[in-house]
Amino acid sequence: NFILTQPPSVSESPGKTVTISCTRSSGSIASYYVQWFQKRPGSSPRPLIYEDNQRRSGVPDRFSGSVDTSSNSASLTISGLKTEDEAEYYCQSYDSTYHGVFGGGTKLTVL
Amino acid sequence: QVQLVQSGAEVKKPGASVKVSCKASGYTFREYGISWVRQAPGQGLEWMGWISAYSSATNYAQKFQGRVIMTTNPYTSTAYMELRSLRSDDTAVYYCARARREPTQNWFDPWGQGTLVHVSS
């Protein structure tokens, strides 16, 4: 199996841009699509990005996803940060047996 | 609109089983699958498995093999997740999410509201 490693926390000021990384431990990041979810306490995960960089309908274009094969990682970038973006963010992918794996989550603080 | 509505909270004793339901509406149930994900208190999201509502094919996480059974009822557009031999560390919120009809775990949208399962003696 493989692991998706995310930083436990990031913080940035309103209006700025933040990038959350998601590094795959084995297997090519380019071979298996990555999804991103926003999770607030007491709420269900909200899909943001699917298939590496496809924004879910209704998600502001301030949210974008990308993949970097050189670092075998995916990234979620949030620009024009708002206080309402404060939440936990999870990446997710799968392996050759179609088993899903989530990253450990990144707590975003907008201060 | 596409919606998944899950059954209510459950309290179970260690060793018991729990069966969580996930009723779909707003789309053709058999054209998709359902994935199940859980989140224990203070922990991250954990993928449990997937079932195709088209073929009833399943794919379970190794951790839950032998202890979980996922089923669907196409007549009521409902998916079920049964977890057996419950332990205290199975205490978590369990989510269903609409997924691909094929086993590729690359799209979960939307999610149910979650079902709290509390395991305690």
* Predicted confidence (pLDDT) per residue in B79-118, tens digit: 999 999 999 999 999 999 999 999 999 999 999 999 999 9
pLDDT at residue A28 tops 90:
yes
Average pLDDT, chain A: 97
CA-based nearest residue in chain B for residue A90: B45
pLDDT at residue B20 tops 90:
yes
What the block records as the tokens of B5 is: 């509505």
What the block records as the tokens of A19 is: 């990038």
pLDDT at residue A2 tops 90:
yes
Q: Tokens 């990555």 belong to which residue?
A: A34
pLDDT of residue A48: 98
pLDDT at residue A1 tops 90:
no
Three-class DSSP category at A85: helix
For residue B110, whether the previous peptide bond is cis, meaning omega lies within 30 degrees of 0, is yes
Predicted confidence band at A104 (pLDDT cuts at 50, 70, 90)? very high
Q: How far is A32 from chain B (nearest CA, A)?
A: 8
Which of B70, B105, B108 best probes binding to A when mutated, by most A CB atoms within 10 angstroms?
B105
Rounded mean pLDDT of A62-67?
Answer: 98
Residue A13 β-bridge partners: none
Taken in order B41, B117, A3, B63, is the CA torsion positive or negative?
positive
Residue % of chain A over a pLDDT of 90: 99
Q: How far is B93 from chain A (nearest CA, A)?
A: 10
Average pLDDT, chain B: 97
Rounded mean pLDDT of A38-58?
Answer: 97
Contact (Cβ atoms closer than 8 angstroms) between residue A14 and residue A82: yes
When CB atoms are compared, the residue of B44, B106, B110 closest to A50 is B106
Rounded mean pLDDT of B1-25?
Answer: 98
Rounded mean pLDDT of B23-27?
Answer: 98
Contact (Cβ atoms closer than 8 angstroms) between residue B117 and residue B20: yes
pLDDT at residue B60 tops 90:
yes
pLDDT of residue B25: 98
pLDDT of residue A90: 98
CA-based nearest residue in chain B for residue A34: B106
Distance CA A83, CA A40 (A): 13
Rounded mean pLDDT of A38-42?
Answer: 96
